[in-house]
Amino acid sequence: MSIREIDVSAVREAVARLCVKANTELDPALYEALRKASAAEVSPVGRSILCQLVENAGIARATGTPICQDTGLAVVFATVGQDVHFTGGSLEEAIHAGVAEGYTAGYLRKSVVGDPLRRTNTGDNTPAIIHYRVVPGDGFEITVAPKGIGSENMSRLFMLKPSQGADGIREAVLTAVREAGASACPPLVIGVGVGGSFEKCAQLAKEALLRPIGQNSADPFWADFERDLLERVNRLGIGPQGLGGTTTALWLAVEPYATHIGGLPVAVCLNCHVARHESAVL
Amino acid sequence: MKDMKYTAGTDNGRTAEPETRRLHAPFSREVIRSLHAGDTVLISGTVYTARDAAHKRLCEALAAGEALPFDIRNAVIYYVGPTPPRPGQVLGAAGPTTSGRMDAYAPTLMDAGLAAMIGKGDRSEAVIDSMRKNTAVYFAATGGAGALLSKCIIASETVCYEDLGTEAVRRLTVQDFPATVVIDCEGTDLYKTAPAQYRKEG
Ligand code: SF4
């Protein structure tokens, strides 16, 4: 078995490119979902908002202007083959440098403060938040998922009791969506983590947002759960921008994982329609 | 699709649907009294930008008895922190930010003459009371429509607090900027009334 070498400068370049692409080009599947929703929405105010979002996505793509001015914290998922050897410097530093390059050259907003209490802007949107996964083989895939704070602030973690079961999970999601109201800029894209531990559950919710829009869980049990829960969310009436309507969420995905006999963690990661994620394979 | 085409923008040939009103900012209190929660409008004219940090300074200036760096009487403030412009652009993406963060300051500014606010998300009871008292209006712009709203901004100049970067106070000239009246001067709040109409719980 051979070791594959990857120069970290290639990682830096890829990250810079992905930061800009994710912020200016709306996922085509989400664009389609928005377009469909703009025709199906019952509320006239809601329809006009959804039409604005469709037009906005077109302008952003054509002009390179960010879809939204909150170009987010740069969340990065790196899937590293165990037979890869990185050369030319630190992988982690290359990822941060790629974020700085992308946010600066791409005219994106720098929204990161270096310390949560002393709050001085770092000036280049670093550091990134990086999640690594090591897998067999010599592949390397990197995903940049910028996350705006409006919806991140409304995301929730619930440590349920096993007896609360499916109803408890549904109520947790509906509570998060209800309490978010207009703040997470509905129509939403919702990632739900179920199981694992405190931190694993939150990460599952984030990872659920990376799944292609329109692709329900491979497990028929969870696929049904997802479809039913999305329908319930859309019965809340919150609607586009919280101004009432039948389109509160465009998409909902659940990622389950094994958990402890005594626990049922549920994490609800709310995202606006600007559910950004772009990947590259090196 | 044509009938549900969103109506704002500066392109030629695009007209407002009958129910969409065109407003020229700044507006008189008489115009504000004629606006009702749920009205969709296209705003043209002058609006000022300010977020948390600028609000704090404006309120500190008022508390110290100083004159404000711009005339706040009948003014419209837009809560926005845009992305940097590309060469040739007036501003980058420029959608609304969450208004609730300005709730602590808004009543003071309304007492000083502020007539209208544009942002997103709900407002506190104290803000709504002050809106009733001062005959002020609150509009929502579409969060996540930063590129589109940027096109409705045809001029921008920094007024003060340049050191705040994206949070500096700017005087914007907007044209056909789409917004919805969410809280009117009688205190009717669309965020509270509208979802109930579409709710199908149980
Ligand atoms: S929640 Fe999304 S659409 Fe709303 S301001 Fe944040 S990034 Fe933009």
Which one has a higher pLDDT value, B202 or B105?
A: B105
Is the pLDDT score of B138 beyond 50?
yes
- Token pair of B88, please? 């040739």
In a domain, B15, yes or no: no
pLDDT range class, residue A119, cuts 50, 70, 90:
confident
In a domain, B85, yes or no: yes
- Say which CATH number the domain at B46 has: 3.20.130.10
Q: Is the Cβ pair B89, A65 closer than 8 Å? A: yes
pLDDT range class, residue B202, cuts 50, 70, 90:
low
Candidates 3.40.720, 3.30.1330, 3.30.2010, 1.25.40; CATH matching A150-275: 3.30.1330
The C-alpha atoms of residue B144 and residue A68 are separated, in whole angstroms, by: 5
Amino acid, single-letter form, for residue B136: A
3-class secondary structure, A46: helix
Interface probe, candidates A241, A271, A272, chain B, greatest B C-beta count within 10 A: A241
Whether residue A54 contacts residue A90, with contact meaning beta carbons closer than 8 Å, is answered with no
The tens digit of pLDDT for each residue in A53-110 reads 999 999 999 999 999 999 999 999 999 999 999 999 999 999 999 999 999 999 999 9
Is the pLDDT score of B2 beyond 90?
no
The tens digit of pLDDT for each residue in A179-224 reads 999 999 999 999 999 999 999 999 999 999 999 999 999 999 999 9
In a domain, B10, yes or no: no
Q: Report ipTM (2 d.p.).
A: 0.92
In a domain, B16, yes or no: no
Which residue is closest in CA terms to ligand 1's atom 8?
Answer: B144
Q: What's the pLDDT score for residue A232?
A: 98
Chain B partners of A235 at a C-beta cutoff of 8 Å?
199-201
Whether residue B40 contacts residue B178, with contact meaning beta carbons closer than 8 Å, is answered with yes
Q: What's the pLDDT score for residue A189?
A: 97
Domain count, chain B: 1
CA neighbours within 13 Å on the CB side: how many for A72? 29
Is the pLDDT score of A255 beyond 50?
yes
pTM: predicted TM-score of the whole model, two decimal places? 0.92
Mark which residues 107-166 of A lie under 8 Å from B by CB.
Answer: 107-109, 121, 150
Q: Is the dihedral of CA B15, B10, A67, A184 positive or negative?
A: negative
In a domain, B197, yes or no: yes
Chain B interface includes A36 (CB < 8 A): no
In a domain, B115, yes or no: yes
The tens digit of pLDDT for each residue in B85-109 reads 999 999 999 999 999 999 999 999 9
Q: Beta strand pairing status for A156-160 and A264-271?
A: antiparallel
Range of the domain at B106: 21-201
Question: A273: nearest CA in chain B?
Answer: B144
For residue A192, list its beta bridge partners. A254, A268
- Token pair of B112, please? 């000083």
The tens digit of pLDDT for each residue in B20-78 reads 899 999 999 999 999 999 999 999 999 999 998 899 999 999 999 999 999 999 999 99
Q: Is the Cβ pair A66, B143 closer than 8 Å? A: no
- Total count of residues recorded for chain A: 282
Chain B interface includes A69 (CB < 8 A): yes
| Domain residue extents for chain A | 4-23+67-147, 150-275
Mark which residues 168-197 of A lie under 8 Å from B by CB.
Answer: 181-183, 185
Q: What's the pLDDT score for residue B160?
A: 92
The C-alpha atoms of residue A54 and residue A76 are separated, in whole angstroms, by: 27
Chain A interface includes B45 (CB < 8 A): no
Is the pLDDT score of A160 beyond 90?
yes
Measured in angstroms, the CA of B96 and the nearest CA of chain A are apart by: 8
Average pLDDT over residues A234-246: 97
Q: Which of A153, A148, A242, A17 is nearest to B81 (CA)?
A: A148
